[in-house]
Structure 1
């Protein structure tokens, strides 16, 4: 199956944004990685910002789809959150969406920032839904605040990436995930049948 030039340009931009950030992603580097000429790039996109927006949107959509696999999967609320947090990730590269929050050029542009903000807000909201569902079913203690807990889970996940990258080791990430799951386990009622 061959991919279109537009798809190759988007995929190349996604990779470069993750590796180098917005400023470090030049149109020439995108074209070289995509095996596309300048004319092809400007035929499909008005310029680097337009292409970056398409790449960020695709990354955000992919992240949501992967997360939804675990959130809508089998098991109780804690099992689904655990499946999400423990799924395979390229930890040392960081979160492809979360890393964009550290890119001043992306954050300064409302159009580029929007899919980043929307995705992180969706993630917090979706986690809160799963946790609220678990609370309603009696899987989690009524004292659990789904919104605050979801925000904590996302913060620990994103922070875990930062710690892992700083240490050049997945160990701090795994430790952070284990820690937040331990905190969540404290809300699982002990008198379960």
Structure 2
């Protein structure tokens, strides 16, 4: 039975987003999507060409939400360091993992040019936003001149994604928390000594 609010297409996308985060692409069947969405059997093929097309729409929606949350942290008030700290220390559902990063562990996602592109483009956009903040910090003499913005941005992304993996493996968010606090300490060391 379709939900009363929104469109069937919206329900299919939202249900797919949830299932991809919970199960991954390979383990998410069209039947599970239809059941979660409360949609009829032909609904998916009325709105999408198939599972891959629906998953791409859901992953793009997830990416937009992730980028919007990141933009809130990185475009906020404060110094570049404060904005990077806001991104790193933001409250997350750590034990669920990153809804985009988790897709890299799914061979069928990496084997699909369409789905792999969504994942890669999302990380490219994240990297670009972090690089912009680091460059802003360099322009304002916050960071030591030896800082390489792209390298530092990849390090920040790697800490967050690796933190998710460590926390999920331990069944405890503590490794994630230690990793991001370590990244904050590392960023503190890149500051120019006369910047407070």
TM-score, normalised with respect to structure 2: 0.95
Q: Where does residue 14 of structure 1 map in the other structure? A: 17
What aligned pairs does 1:94-105 form with structure 2 within 5 A after superposition?
A: 94-105=97-108
1:148 and 2:128 equivalent?
A: no
1:160 and 2:173 equivalent?
A: no
Give the CA deviation at 1:40: 1.7
1:125 and 2:128 equivalent?
A: yes
C-alpha distance in 1, partners of 2:195/2:59?
Answer: 43
1:125-163 alpha-carbon deviations (Å, 9 max, x no partner)? 111110011011011111111110000000111000000
1:79-126 alpha-carbon deviations (Å, 9 max, x no partner)? 001111111210000000001011100000000111100011111111
Given that 2:89 and 2:181 are in contact with CA atoms closer than 8 Å, whether structure 1 keeps it comes out as no
Aligned with 1:31 (options 34, 39, 46): 34
1:34-73 alpha-carbon deviations (Å, 9 max, x no partner)? 0001122211111111111100111111111111111111
C-alpha distance in 2, partners of 1:189/1:114?
Answer: 38
Aligned with 2:113 (options 84, 101, 110): 110
Aligned with 1:58 (options 56, 61, 67): 61
Aligned with 1:170 (options 166, 173, 177): 173
Specify every segment of 5 or more residues in structure 1 that has no aligned partner in the other structure, as ranges: none
C-alpha distance in 2, partners of 1:112/1:75?
Answer: 36
C-alpha distance in 1, partners of 2:42/2:131?
Answer: 46
C-alpha distance in 1, partners of 2:151/2:52?
Answer: 34
Specify every segment of 5 or more residues in structure 2 that has no aligned partner in the other structure, as ranges: none
TM-score, normalised with respect to structure 1: 0.97
- What's the secondary structure of 1:185's corresponding residue? helix
Q: Where does residue 67 of structure 1 map in the other structure? A: 70
C-alpha distance in 2, partners of 1:192/1:25?
Answer: 50
- What's the secondary structure of 2:146's corresponding residue? coil
Q: How many residues are paired up?
A: 193
C-alpha distance in 2, partners of 1:101/1:192?
Answer: 39
What do you get for the CA RMSD once the two structures are aligned? Answer: 1.1
